[in-house]
């Protein structure tokens, strides 16, 4: 049975699913639809890509842009995952554009009034109908408060939650099919990746959470006069409407504009990079979307940060592990590098130590004999994590988000100041983390944590042992064994048993039909018993269907 026929019974969004499959086919991914068993019903669609000169990676980007906002957000997320995609796909997805036509001002006003429970005229002295910016999730309007303060109002696009929910359901099903039918994707666990994307989109669709992130960022830099964060107007904000102080400045990627304003691009580069290194190594909470439209350089080299819809977190253990990784590379210590990367990661089975260290040494050779000024910190970390992933080791998603943010910051910092050296800039922060790790207070804290865990274990051990003995006495003690690598064999056995049962049923139908014909039971059609003839006809159809299924899978 074709994949779409199955979906007709189990899927609530069949028309959208057809649209998704049609767009994939149009951009030349009919082979993928076939492997995922979703090509039934699409024979009439264009299978050749519209732009036959485009690479497969570029066609992925074009298809994702046509698929709409949820897929674009997913693609942007995937552009950070160097552990899952080849570099050409990462580069293509990094170009994804999230520009959509604005929705009408009347709808924007309606959302604001519905969420805040009052007419626009009583909330704002002025509300501009023309948006400042429009994207797939929301659009932003300028406004003025009754007391004269200038603000921006971020308003959720009407109906976007339903669109996102439907598309995420389709993505989850596609991921499950990929996990089942594409061996190279089985170990990458695409269903887990889609769950991460869903959590990211849930956070981005909750403007109350974005308001909290904005306020947290402001608090962690409250003693730094070079950081400016817009004030959140809580009384004018909900989960679908966010009202913020309006801030402005020069874009961080325009050194000529900075110089015209009497600012030093080198100081601006060092200031922004210092902020990001502090976010990563000191605070563990970082602004994850540092494109030039979200960073403004104000007078006295003050940096204003806006749009906290995308943020990341690094706990203390991860920050310490990351510092160890950078220190190990700078010291050319392969053993420490291997240990530090494995400490950061998760894995079902430990990788081969010799092969892992060999790959780390080979990668380290790319940097070992270069001057530090030629190193690219973000690119180096991306390569390390990508190599680690090839050994079946999973790096936390927030680390890849951090690497992407750090790479972007490093890129425009070098644009402002070509001599910018990220490794040297990070050295004080790495030393600080390592010193704190071995400080007496931190050592005592870790010892106290270990003691508490030991006491908890000792306290719970007798009761758990008694429960094991009780279960054994009752005959309810169950030991489970998991066999690795048997899934393909079990699938083959399941298919073989299904076909055997089908063949037995087919044989029984043929014998029964022959008996009916031999008995000559009425009614008749041209002298042949109708029921017997019907049985033979059904048998023939079933036999051809079984033969076609066997040929389709290449096993006659």
Question: Distance (Å, rounded) from C-alpha 195 to C-alpha 345?
Answer: 19
Beta carbons within 8 Å of 553's beta carbon, 6+ residues apart: none
For residue 370, give the nearest of 332, 338, 404 by alpha carbon.
332
Burial track 359-369 (b if 16+ CB lie within 10 A, e otherwise): bbeebbeebee
- For residue 159, count CB atoms less than 10 angstroms from its CB and return exposed for 0-12, middle for 13-18, buried for 19 or more: exposed
Cα gap 274→284, rounded to integer Å: 14
Cβ pair 412, 252 in contact under 8 A: yes
Q: How many CB atoms lie within 10 A of CB 244?
A: 23
Question: What torsion, rounded to 10 degrees, do the Cα atoms 521, 526, 527, 530 define?
Answer: -20
Length of the chain: 556
C-alpha 271/C-alpha 343 separation (Å) is 31
Active site residue 128: no
Contact 288, 305 (CB under 8 A): no
Residue 482, classed as helix, strand or coil, is: coil
Interacting residues of 172 by C-beta distance below 8 A, sequence separation 6+: 191, 194, 195, 198
Closest to 510 (Cα-Cα) out of 520, 521, 518:
518
Distances (CA, A) of 67 to 74, 75, 166: 11, 11, 12
Burial of 256-269, coded b for 16+ CB within 10 Å and e otherwise, reads: eebeeeebebbbbb
Two tokens at 340?
A: 């530090």
Tokens of 241: 């409407």
Of these residues, 39, 83, 253, 289, which one is catalytic? Answer: 289
Q: Are 201 and 164 in contact (CB under 8 A)?
A: yes
SS3 readout for 62-75: HHHHHHCHHHHHHH
Cβ neighbours for 514, distance < 8 A, ≥ 6 positions apart: 532
Q: Are 247 and 152 in contact (CB under 8 A)?
A: no
Identify how many contiguous H helices and E strands the chain contains and give both numbers: 23, 13
The structure tokens listed for 97 are 């554009």
**Those residues with Cβ within 8 angstroms of residue 178's Cβ, 6 or more apart along the chain or in another chain:** 36, 185, 190
Q: Rounded distance, CA 439 to CA 431, Å?
A: 12
* Distance, CA of 210 to CA of 239 (rounded, Å): 9
Rg (CA), the chain: 30
Residues forming the active site: 289
């Amino acid at each position: 049975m074709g994949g779409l026929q199955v979906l007709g019974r189990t899927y609530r969004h069949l028309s959208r699913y057809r649209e998704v499959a049609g767009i994939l086919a149009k951009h030349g991914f009919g082979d993928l639809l076939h492997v995922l068993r979703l090509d039934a019903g699409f024979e009439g669609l264009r299978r050749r890509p519209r732009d036959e000169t485009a690479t497969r990676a570029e066609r992925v980007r074009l298809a994702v842009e046509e698929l709409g906002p949820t897929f674009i957000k997913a693609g942007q997320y995937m552009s950070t995952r160097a552990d899952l995609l080849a570099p050409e796909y990462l580069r293509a997805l990094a170009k994804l554009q999230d520009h959509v036509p604005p929705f009408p001002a009347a709808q924007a006003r309606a959302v604001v009034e519905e969420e805040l429970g009052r007419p626009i005229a009583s909330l704002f002295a002025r509300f501009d109908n023309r948006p400042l910016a429009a994207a797939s999730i929301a659009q932003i309007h300028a406004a003025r408060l009754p007391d004269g303060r200038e603000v921006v109002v971020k308003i959720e696009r009407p109906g976007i939650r339903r669109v996102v929910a439907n598309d995420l359901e389709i993505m989850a099903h596609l991921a499950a099919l990929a996990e089942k039918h594409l061996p190279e994707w089985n170990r990458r666990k695409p269903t887990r990746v889609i769950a991460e994307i869903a959590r990211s989109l849930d956070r981005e669709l909750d403007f109350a959470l974005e308001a909290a992130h904005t306020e947290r960022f402001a608090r962690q830099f409250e003693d730094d006069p070079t950081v400016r964060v817009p004030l959140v107007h809580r009384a004018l904000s909900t989960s679908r409407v966010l009202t913020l102080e309006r801030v402005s400045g020069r874009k961080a990627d325009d050194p000529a504009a900075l110089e015209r304003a009497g600012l030093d691009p080198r100081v601006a580069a060092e200031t922004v990079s210092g902020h990001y290194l502090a976010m990563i190594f000191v605070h563990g909470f970082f602004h994850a979307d540092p494109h030039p439209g979200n960073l403004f350089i104000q007078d006295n080299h003050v940096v204003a940060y806006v749009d906290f819809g995308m943020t990341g977190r690094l706990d203390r253990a991860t920050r310490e592990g990351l510092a160890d990784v950078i220190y190990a590379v700078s010291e050319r210590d392969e053993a420490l590098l291997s240990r530090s990367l494995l400490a950061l990661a998760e894995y079902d089975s430990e990788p081969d130590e010799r092969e892992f260290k060999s790959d780390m040494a080979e990668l380290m050779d790319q940097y070992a004999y270069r001057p530090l000024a030629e190193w690219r910190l973000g690119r180096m970390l991306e390569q390390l994590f990508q190599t680690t992933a090839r050994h079946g080791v999973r790096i936390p998603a927030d680390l890849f988000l951090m690497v992407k943010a750090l790479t972007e910051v490093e890129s425009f910092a070098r644009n402002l100041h070509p001599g910018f050296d990220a490794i040297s800039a990070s050295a004080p922060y790495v030393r600080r983390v390592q010193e704190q790790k071995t400080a007496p207070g931190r050592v005592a804290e870790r010892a106290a944590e270990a003691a508490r865990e030991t006491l908890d274990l000792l306290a719970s051990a007798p009761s758990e042992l008694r429960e094991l003995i009780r279960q054994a006495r009752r005959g309810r003690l169950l030991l489970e064994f998991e066999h690795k690598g048997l899934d393909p064999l079990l699938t083959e056995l399941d298919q073989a048993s299904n076909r055997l049962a089908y063949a037995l049923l087919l044989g029984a139908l043929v014998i029964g039909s022959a008996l009916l014909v031999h008995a000559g039971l009425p009614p008749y059609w041209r002298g042949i018993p109708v029921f017997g003839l019907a049985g033979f006809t059904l048998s023939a159809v079933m036999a051809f269907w079984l033969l076609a299924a066997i040929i389709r899978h290449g096993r006659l």
